[in-house]
Structure 1
Amino acid sequence: MNLFESYIVALTNLYGIVPAEILKDIYNSQNDEQISIEEVNDILDNFPENLAEAFVYSYRGHFVHDAVVEFDEFDSLMSKKAGKPYYIPEKEELLKYTDDFYYEVTEEFDDLLDYVSDNLIKDRDRAQELVEEIQGSCQIGSSMKYVMDNFDHFKVDFKSIEQLNEVMKLVMELSNNTRIWENNGHTPMEIFEKFEKPNIRPLPEVPFDFSATNVIDMKTRKKIGRNDPCPCGSGKKYKKCCLGKDESN
């Protein structure tokens, strides 16, 4: 397998679906030898057998992972990926993804592995197999039920609902920090921190007071609080006097 074919496999494993133009741009940005879009399209049209052996296929003008085609997820995944930027690791890191089983070992991965091996599966190697299966399910965007089915497959028996909740929390943290296809290789947390969080409107510095009113005392020109003296001069608090009358007008 030559270098460009290695890029095809690595990026397909990282993104699930790779448009020809994206593949060309990433390859050319990291290598002196350049490739044209015509050459990329020629590979799509005359697909090498060794790429198929690496679970990569030519499908509707894209390089697509076998799992996407097998489960008929192309349209759904393309819809989820739309408009999201691509995560592009450095060349050395990127080419590690030529291994279909490669994954980044994160703090969240280690936390879940430690919990599983300490509390659920004493065999550390067996515990790691389970956590790798869970991360793989997270990577392709499987539902949480499908992710949790891995515990059934490994015959894990939770001792209590509290323990199940602890595990669920660790699984969610792993899922939020796993590079997934529908985010074009970004983790959910990266997408939130870099692209969604900056667009969230900040809360006001002074929290909204649900007990406040919009009534103004015409003499002082100040807003009247519910517990302030009523401006009618009765000597009662506003909420005990004219508040109901004002709100009904």
Structure 2
Amino acid sequence: MNQVIDYIMSLTNLYGLVHKDKVLEICNIQNDEKIDLEVIDKIMKEAPEMLAKNFVEINGDYFVSETIMEFDEFETQLMQRKGKPFYIPKKEELLKYKNETYFEVPKEYEDLLSYIANNLTDGDEHFAEILCEDIQGICQFAFSVSTIFDIFNRNEISFKSEKQISELMELVMKLANNTRLWENNGHTPNEIFEKIEKPNLRPLPKERFPGFMNFEEMDTTNKKSGPKKVGRNEPCPCDSGKKYKKCCGK
């Protein structure tokens, strides 16, 4: 039963929400020892508190991320993923998602991390990693260009030119299109585009980028002592006891 619970948590973190029948299907595909629906029904009946401690809630026949329920997005999420195939990684990769902070690190993430470290954080790799984790979270959960620039403004990061902004945003868009999304049943926008031929790619904006300070403002603030740098997976500075991404970083 413990392995089935691991699958429930992993699939919920990967998909945002998952029907109990899909949990049963994937468990039986990936394991020699088969289970029946009674095992999952028993977990739904006897272990809701344990699942809730791992940010998984039960809604009817679905296991659902706490975030979706908290923001009343269950029906919206169901509609967004309608007709889309499921991304089902191999067992070893899939069970990594038991950790709710886990995300797949594609080449596009590494490219962005390298660019930020080399061009925007004076070689501070830890700071660059914090920024990239924030950007990845935005790409996954609430993508907008202005929100991306809010990260840099909040951390008083200045840009040398619009060319540098364009280079950065091209890398961000590549990451966004290769980030696994709940509304795509775990697929990336690029994968959905290839699989069902829909124009889901996020284009690089052609207009002047919104949401950031002008160069004069950035130049005067960049040398000031910056605010505390908090990663999405670090404790929230408000002392709530929650992780930053589940509290003030939402």
Pairwise TM-score range, normalised by the shorter structure: 0.7 to 0.9
Deviation by residue 1:136-168 (Cα, 9 ceiling, x = unmatched): 222225334334433233332223332222211
On the 8 A contact 2:55/2:65 being kept in 1, the answer is yes
1:22 counterpart residue number: 22
Deviation by residue 1:157-180 (Cα, 9 ceiling, x = unmatched): 223332222211111100001111
What's the secondary structure of 1:158's corresponding residue?
coil
On the 8 A contact 1:141/1:180 being kept in 2, the answer is no
TM-score scaled by length of structure 1: 0.73
62-71 vs 172-181, greater mean Cα deviation: 62-71
Shift of 1:77: 1.3
On the 8 A contact 1:20/1:62 being kept in 2, the answer is yes
On the 8 A contact 1:141/1:182 being kept in 2, the answer is no
Looking at structure 2, the residues matched to 12 and 179 of structure 1 have their Cα atoms a distance apart, in angstroms, of 13
Higher relative contact order (CA 8 A, sep 6+): 2
Looking at structure 2, the residues matched to 51 and 132 of structure 1 have their Cα atoms a distance apart, in angstroms, of 25
On the 8 A contact 2:28/2:34 being kept in 1, the answer is yes
Looking at structure 1, the residues matched to 69 and 156 of structure 2 have their Cα atoms a distance apart, in angstroms, of 30
1:203 counterpart residue number: none
Q: 1:43 to 1:145 in 2, by over 3 A?
A: farther
Q: 1:76 to 1:29 in 2, by over 3 A?
A: same
2:212 counterpart residue number: none
Looking at structure 1, the residues matched to 113 and 57 of structure 2 have their Cα atoms a distance apart, in angstroms, of 33
Extract unaligned runs of 5+ from structure 1. 198-249
Q: Give the number of aligned pairs.
A: 197
| Larger of the two Rg values belongs to structure | 1
2:195 counterpart residue number: 194
1:22 partner amino acid: K
Question: Where does 1:35-184 land on structure 2 (aligned, <5 Å)?
Answer: 35-122=35-122, 123-184=124-185
Looking at structure 2, the residues matched to 70 and 142 of structure 1 have their Cα atoms a distance apart, in angstroms, of 19
On the 8 A contact 1:140/1:182 being kept in 2, the answer is no
Q: 1:101 to 1:120 in 2, by over 3 A?
A: same
Q: 1:75 to 1:152 in 2, by over 3 A?
A: farther
Extract unaligned runs of 5+ from structure 2. 199-250
2:179 partner amino acid: T
Q: 1:49 to 1:35 in 2, by over 3 A?
A: same
Looking at structure 1, the residues matched to 174 and 184 of structure 2 have their Cα atoms a distance apart, in angstroms, of 16
1:191 partner amino acid: I
Looking at structure 1, the residues matched to 147 and 55 of structure 2 have their Cα atoms a distance apart, in angstroms, of 22
Looking at structure 1, the residues matched to 100 and 148 of structure 2 have their Cα atoms a distance apart, in angstroms, of 19
2:247 counterpart residue number: none
> Identical aligned pairs, as a percentage?
49
2:22 partner amino acid: I
On the 8 A contact 2:13/2:97 being kept in 1, the answer is yes
Deviation by residue 1:163-216 (Cα, 9 ceiling, x = unmatched): 22221111110000111111111111111112217xxxxxxxxxxxxxxxxxxx
Q: CA RMSD in A?
A: 1.8
What's the secondary structure of 1:116's corresponding residue?
helix
